[in-house]
A and B are shown apart, each in its own frame.
Chain A
Amino acid sequence: MNSTDPHSGHTHWVIPGGYIPLESRGPEPKYTSRDELILLNTHADDTHVTLHVYYSDRPPVGPYHIQVPAQRLRCIRCNDLIDPEALPLETPFALTITADRPISVQYIQRYFGKDPRQANPLMAYPMDR
């Protein structure tokens, strides 16, 4: 992949299906039920990413600020997002992601409850502007 290719990603993404279960089984943090955000920056410069979290019953919260170093990926547990505030568990939410240069985004829901372990890759939708 050409790291300076302006087409190696998008600057705006939406993930509508966020939901972090309350229940976790097994030693933590390895087996903490979680939603994970994976951000890939293939460019030669660092990328600044901002998140906003949307809910069904109250105004959006954000921005959450994340730096992704040049030509690196970052895995973020949504459970760990804390500034400006923690996300409630057991609550549907949606994420919007804005980066100052094109990035690629993957979203994975890893659940370790009483049901069999699940790891569900979830679509992150690029938004062209």
Chain B
Amino acid sequence: MEGTPNRHSWTSWSGSIRFTPRQALVPADEAALQQIVKDTHSRGGTLRAIGARHSCSAVYVTQDTLLSMEQLQGLIAADTAARTAVFLPGTTIRRAGNDLAEYQLAMENMGHIDQQTLAGAISTGTHGAGKYLPNLSAQLIGVRLISGTGSIHEFHEAHHPEAMQALRVSLGTLGLFTRLTLRLLPQYRLVRKQYRASTHDCLAHLDELMETHRNFQFYWYPRRDDVTIRTWDEEDRNVPDLPFGEQYKVQRGYAKDVLPSTQDLRFNELEYAIDQEDALACFQEVRDLILTKHRKDVGWRVLFRPIRGDDSWLSNGYGKSTVVAITVHQNATLPYQAYFDDVERILRSYGGRPHWGKKHSLKAADLRALYPKWDAFQQLRVQLDPDGVFLNEHLKTLFADEQH
């Protein structure tokens, strides 16, 4: 039996998303998953797959059928020489890192945490930090999926380059991924360093920080107007310590162990990717807004992360050389809407594109203007899911309100 229908409420990691699907199913294999899709399609229903529920957007909300991928985890195959591996979709990034280590392989980059599933993180354009490192979806070179009518398709960048550009960041609207093939690196070690510093020193060295370090990010603290800086560099490069700030932590290890952090504090977040050349001015505007208007009620930090651009149609780095993700956070127990609305106005004024897995207010008409390949994506989506099996109410406002 692929799963037991059970009706109860599901809550996102931050607690801001809560919903009760008609049924929640836990398919044990691809055949079971395919049958669920066919059944849903034949009765005109909708279904969404859930990963680690770390996203605070409504991307996985459904009142109909919710799929848990918790039984579809693990490494299927790895090729150390070719530096590729095939995973099941519900594999967490942490598990992927541990499984790959046995083959002396590693992911090129990962995000702030490693609790997300591969399918969820890749499909929402989740990223790490590093001027020359694109978001996680860039590692996806092949995919096997079940379309909205229940048919199985396989795509690979060697044979379907355009389809892969659409599939990499597709929010689960082109099909349910059942296998993901990743391009990898040989296992590598990094040195992670953390510093406290003044905002002035950090911003004065910003270009150098982005250029020098494999991975770089800083957090700005609204209640102190100072920053913490994190850098990660290859262990054998012996990159010198920063000439400013106070170093308070050094950690060495394999990338899978030192890139992510433990995150116990719950929060909601809003994030947009801004062109690198505008990022400093945009950050300063957000900082001024918080200091002058929101500091009374906002204590949690603002995150600044450079990311290499890419050619994935719905990636917020599409067509860019480098973007900077600016992320604001608010404690999960505190009101966030007025704060996020104000910050979003600034981020949008710089032509920013939202992170699909975080809070944002954009609708189809706004988004179409931001993504040059928007129409091409929608055409492929309609081909693979003609009856909108994978569209929930949130995704309809993003994609379907502007059908033509």
Could you tell me if A86 and B298 are in contact, using CB atoms closer than 8 angstroms? yes
| Bound: A89/B298 CA distance, A | 9
A56, chain B: closest CB distance, angstroms: 16
Interface: A84 (CB within 8 A) = yes
Q: Which residues of chain A are within 8 angstroms of B198 by Cβ–Cβ distance?
A: 27
**Nearest chain B CB to A77's CB is how many angstroms away?**
8
- State whether the Cβ of A119 lies closer than 8 Å to any Cβ in chain B: no
Question: Which A residues are CB-close (under 8 A) to B225?
Answer: 28-29, 32
Chain A CB within 8 A of B295 CB: yes
Within the complex, what minimum Cβ distance (angstroms) separates A52 from chain B?
Answer: 14
Contact A89 B295 (CB under 8 A): yes
| Residues 1 to 54 of chain A near chain B (Cβ within 8 Å) | 22, 27-29, 32
Q: What size tier do the contact residues of chain A reach?
A: 20 to 34
Could you say which residues of chain A place their CB within 8 Å of the CB of B221? Answer: 80
Complex interface bits, B200-232 against A, C-beta within 8 A gives 1, otherwise 0? 000000000000000000000101111000000
The answer on a CB contact under 8 Å between B223 and A86 is yes
Q: Is A106 an interface residue (CB 8 A)?
A: no
Task: Please pick, from A22, A29, A61, the residue contacting B296 in the complex, using a CB distance under 8 A.
Answer: A22
Count of chain B residues near A, Cβ 8 A: 18
Within A88-127, the residues touching B (CB, 8 Å) are 88-91
Q: Looking at the complex, which one of B226, B264, B265, B299 makes contact with A87 (CB distance below 8 Å)? A: B299
Is residue B234 contacting chain A, with contact meaning CB distance below 8 A? no
Q: Are B265 and A83 in contact (CB under 8 A)?
A: yes
Instruction: Tell me whether B331 is interfacial, beta carbon within 8 Å.
Output: yes
The chain B residue sitting closest to A23, CB to CB, is: B295
State A83–B331 Cα separation when bound (angstroms): 8
Question: Given the interface contacts A22-B295, A22-B296, A79-B299, does A86 sit within 8 Å of B224 by beta carbon?
Answer: no
Nearest-CB residue, chain A, relative to B301: A82
Distance A45 CA – B75 CA, assembled complex (angstroms): 45
11 contacts between A and B (CB under 8 A): A29-B224, A29-B226, A61-B333, A80-B224, A80-B299, A83-B264, A85-B299, A86-B297, A86-B300, A88-B296, A89-B295
A-B pairs with lowest CB-CB distance, top 5:
A86-B299, A28-B225, A29-B224, A85-B331, A79-B223
